[in-house]
Structure 1
Amino acid sequence: MALKAIVKVGSVTNLSDARYCAGMGVDMLGFDINPASPEYVNPLKFQEITGWVAGVKLVGEAHGLSEENIRAQLVQYELDCLEISDLPLLESLKHTDLTFIIKATTEASLNTAMTLAKNTPAVAYIFAELNNQLSVKQVVSANSEVPLLVGYDVSPEQVERLLASDNVNGFALKGSQEVKPGFKDYDELADMLEALEADD
């Protein structure tokens, strides 16, 4: 299945999500590598999940971690990309072999992220998380030189309008916990991926 935009599914905690999303053609799977997070995926579970999927980039979501803790975690995970929201970390981590996603949650942090990305080749994407401090209007008017992903509060009905803006290149979606091992409710995720399915 081909999608009409770049798609990252984050907060993946189980094999069901990983296999479903990879099969649907998403570009990236994100895993929370902060041990203090309720969505944390430890290195062993990460290996077990990612061993069953292919053709997707693996993203470590490192929000809330210090540089020292991030470096300690990187030794334990085989990642393609690192997602951070603490912007000063980019300067100290940019010389790793990874590419970066910068997460922005306010208009100010989005503007800072775009400036940093302009001067940092390792930044592959900016992820603008919609909330009461960052609106669709602000994101659509952003002029980013690197691909801009929008999430999580996006409905299937908004997909075409956002892609038509020229400034939005893709979407960040979110995985969820299994009802029980092997059993998942994919309704919300499936609706978004169906809206993003490329026309034949």
Structure 2
Amino acid sequence: MYNLDLVTGIIIAANVMASLRGFDNRIFFERYKFNVGQIRRGDQIRMFSSGFLHVDTTHLLFNMLTLYFFAHTVIAQLGTLSFVIIYIASLIFGNLLSLYFHKDEFWYSAVGASGAVTGVLYAAILLNPEMNLYMFFIPIPIPGYVFGIGYLLYSIYGMKNRIGNIGHDAHFGGAVGGYVVTLLLLPSLFKTDLSHVALLAVPIVILFVLYKTGKLH
């Protein structure tokens, strides 16, 4: 049984209200979406506001369900304030990485809470790496840390090959945000669970190596 904490409910409500407004009002949607050209011209609010807009109801529902399932794990272990810090930091980290990789593509645009939600997911996995996760078409449970590593490796693959209309870099950046901020908030994890901390860092190291060797693009 999952709990809907007050702060999670508020964040979900904010996403729903902003997204519904964006569905009905194209001017609102265009004004607050992530767009490289506008951000580089100084419209920095888009780095934050774009995280509350979504392309359609399916996109919105998927992100909010993921947030609902994993938010309580973070709140229960770190508290409400830390959860909010992780959510916002992951949103910004995701958009910063996306901006970095698309900095010369002035037309590039994106929306969605995926970076923030992925950060919460990765934080939850870091806090409870042995949690069992069930995936579509896979009848057996997957340990959280295995899923986390696999998800980020797929994100690297998606970034390298530009697979689908998906912001793989925002997902990856969000996960890094969740990982780093969680460790800053709870550094005791380095003593109590160093093996999982190290394993979950593997995709981050791989991305760095690929980038430094020029093999990412």
TM-score (norm 2): 0.28
Q: Which has the higher helix share?
A: 2
Q: TM-score, normalised by structure 1?
A: 0.30
Structure with the higher strand share, 1 or 2? 1
Structure of larger gyration radius = 2
